[in-house]
Amino acid sequence: MSQLLSNNIASFNTTNNINLTVTDDQPNILAWLSPLDPRLRHQDIRDRRVEGVGEWLLQTEEFRGWHAGGGGDEPNDAVLFCYGDPGVGKTYIR
C-alpha cells in the first residue's frame, strides 16, 4: 500500500512553467470577457431615476435603525441587502 501511495504522490509533482505574453490585443480580450461597460450602465440608470423613488424606505424604522448602527465605539459593519423580484425597482432606489 505504501508503494501505491508514493507513486500517486509523485504523480502530482508538476512544474508550472507558463509563458504568458501580454499583447496589444488586451483591450479586445477584456471587451470579449466582459462586454458590459459598467460606467455607461451606471450613468444610464442615474439619468432614468425619478426624484423621491424609494424615499419611503429611508423613512422606515428598520432602515433608520440599520443606518444608525450599533452605537457606541464599535464600527458599523452591517450590510443592507435589498431583495425583490426583477423589475420591482431596486436599482432605482437612491
- pTM value is 0.43
The DSSP code sequence of 3-53 is: HHHHHHHHHT-----------TTHHHHHHHH----HHHHHHHHHHH--TTT
In whole angstroms, what is the distance from residue 6 CA to residue 40 CA?
56
What is the domain range of residue 8?
Answer: 2-92
* Overall domain count for the chain: 1
| Tens-digit pLDDT string for the chain (94 aa) | 445 444 445 445 555 566 656 567 888 887 788 777 888 888 998 999 888 888 888 899 988 888 887 665 666 677 878 889 998 888 888 7
